[in-house]
Structure 1
Amino acid sequence: MKNIAIWGASSGLGAAMSDYYFEQGFNVIAIARNPAKNPKLADNQITTITCDATDKAQVQHAVSLIPDNTINLSTMGSFNSDKPVDYIGHRYLVDALEQSTSKRLLLITSLGCGDSWQYLSERAKIGFGGAVREKTLAEAWLQSSSLEFSILRPGGLKNGAVTHSAEVSQHREVHGVVTRGEVARISHELLLDSASIGQIFQVVDPSLSY
């Protein structure tokens, strides 16, 4: 059974990832500031680690607790938070993983990060541009690391299960939405494909409307 540590597992996309990988038979380690926010973790007897990723020591301790050669997947984010985790949390995580045996990290950010910033509308830049810029810094820190990384930028997230209709692309302008369940499925495909290492992808589901 493969081990996967999911960072940000207590809500939103992280909770959907925990559900998906548990159903796929992985040994899920759910890491979050407050794992109790997601009661399904306890229901499924998933191992949890409490960690405030804005605290370097807590991140180092959490990484020390995961099994050797664990796959790591991060959905951490903190839109409008007084303590945004998007950049600093991932900086601490990347640094800690580099000192561990767990070198594989899939980082989930969002459309608009990095070179896709140019495609964001002015309204979007005003509304959540700060969070996107934080995530862009996280991407850059990861790209300059020694980890075996992949980056996935989903469009707008909607509640929902796997749809099998999302489109994954690179290096072009895309807009749209995608269900959290479908992002989980795509993340699994990327983790299974060694060619995804060192690559950045984006995903939207053209069958869905805003």
Structure 2
Amino acid sequence: MLKKLLLALVAIPVLVILAIMIAFLQGNGQGVAHFPLNPRPAAVTAEDDAGVLIFGASRNTGFDVAEILAARGTKVTAFVRAQSNTGDLEKLGVPLAYGDALDMPSVERAFAEKQYSAVVTTIGCIGCNPKPDYLGNKNIFDAAKAAGVRRVILITTIGAGDSYDAAPLPARQFLKEMLPLKTQAEDHLKSLGLDYTIIRPGGLKTAAPTGRAFLSEDRETSGLITRADLAGLIVAALDDPNTIGKTLAAIDEDFRFPFDLF
């Protein structure tokens, strides 16, 4: 009897969490308005820019963005920490700027070394203390403005800012320390008068791209997206001036259930 009671006590919270996640993710992307992207042709973009500085490019989505841009001929520089594994970036031939986003002088130095037309930042860290989600991004935005770089793409998450209620409860609990910092970063960027685009992805999945991910201005949508598809949307948003001043969710209608994350 005691064993059954213990099993029930364990099972009930798990079932509740799954039910909540299914409630948020069931029908993901169904009926959600897509933001109409109209990027400039890649060849033109590659010819007329002064280069893109990427923060968070040593792995995951930031690396995928660097790979896409480098493959089409856009000049890219990756801002990385000294201890980062940069082997894959070096294989792409991407120049490196060493520093730490939490160290303002190193960020300012990166902007002083080259001319850039845009900045992309994907930085964030759950286990870091202090976390770079606000302070690191604030340094990036302030240094970009001081250097005259107007175009900034910031990647945060669904659950930041006015999308808080859209994130599943377990996600809000897991990211409870990061969401206020990401919200602060968004607010600071908006206050600077720069040509910003904020992209809030749903849960991130490492898998082959589906090609069905999209951006949306809907503040109530949630879901999942592959890192590869997210990178493609970031580049498209970078190329599309219609995304300036927009805060956009990024999800994939192919992923509808919590187990799609795995």
The equivalent of 1:42 in structure 2 is: 90
Is the alpha carbon distance of 1:23 and 1:107 closer, same or farther for their aligned partners in structure 2, counting shifts above 3 Å?
A: same
Is the alpha carbon distance of 1:161 and 1:28 closer, same or farther for their aligned partners in structure 2, counting shifts above 3 Å?
A: farther
Which of 99, 102, 108 is 2:155 aligned to? 108
C-alpha displacement of 1:17: 1.4
CA distance in structure 2 between the partners assigned to 1:175 and 1:101 by the alignment: 35
* Greater RCO, CA 8 A, separation 6+: 2
Cα root mean square deviation, aligned? 1.5
Is 1:159 aligned to 2:210, yes or no? no
Which of 58-67 and 103-112 deviates more?
A: 58-67
Is the alpha carbon distance of 1:35 and 1:18 closer, same or farther for their aligned partners in structure 2, counting shifts above 3 Å?
A: farther
Deviations 1:29-65 (A, max 9, x none): 0112147413111112210011111111111111112
Select the structure of larger CA radius of gyration.
Answer: 2
Is the alpha carbon distance of 1:163 and 1:80 closer, same or farther for their aligned partners in structure 2, counting shifts above 3 Å?
A: same
Deviations 1:167-197 (A, max 9, x none): 2111331221111111111112212221111
Which of 39, 61, 67 is 2:109 aligned to? 61
CA distance in structure 2 between the partners assigned to 1:94 and 1:166 by the alignment: 27
CA distance in structure 1 between the partners assigned to 2:135 and 2:84 by the alignment: 23
Contact kept in structure 2, 1:72 and 1:106, CA below 8 Å: yes
CA distance in structure 1 between the partners assigned to 2:70 and 2:207 by the alignment: 17
Is 1:52 aligned to 2:100, yes or no? yes
Q: Please, which runs of 5 or more residues in structure 1 have no aligned partner?
A: none
Contact kept in structure 1, 2:158 and 2:249, CA below 8 Å: yes
Alignment of 1:64-79 (within 5 A): 64-67=112-115, 69-79=116-126
Q: Please, which runs of 5 or more residues in structure 2 have no aligned partner?
A: 1-46
Letter in 2 for 1:180: R
Deviations 1:62-110 (A, max 9, x none): 111231x421111011112112101001111111111113210010111
Is the alpha carbon distance of 1:163 and 1:39 closer, same or farther for their aligned partners in structure 2, counting shifts above 3 Å?
A: same
More helix by share: 2
Relative to the length of structure 1, the TM-score reads: 0.93
Which of 51-60 and 16-25 deviates more?
A: 16-25
Contact kept in structure 1, 2:219 and 2:249, CA below 8 Å: no
Which of 39, 52, 74 is 1:4 aligned to? 52
Letter in 2 for 1:77: G
Is the alpha carbon distance of 1:36 and 1:45 closer, same or farther for their aligned partners in structure 2, counting shifts above 3 Å?
A: farther
More strand by share: 1
The equivalent of 2:146 in structure 1 is: 99
Letter in 1 for 2:96: T
Q: How many residues align?
A: 209
Aligned-partner SS, 2:176: helix
CA distance in structure 2 between the partners assigned to 1:127 and 1:105 by the alignment: 27
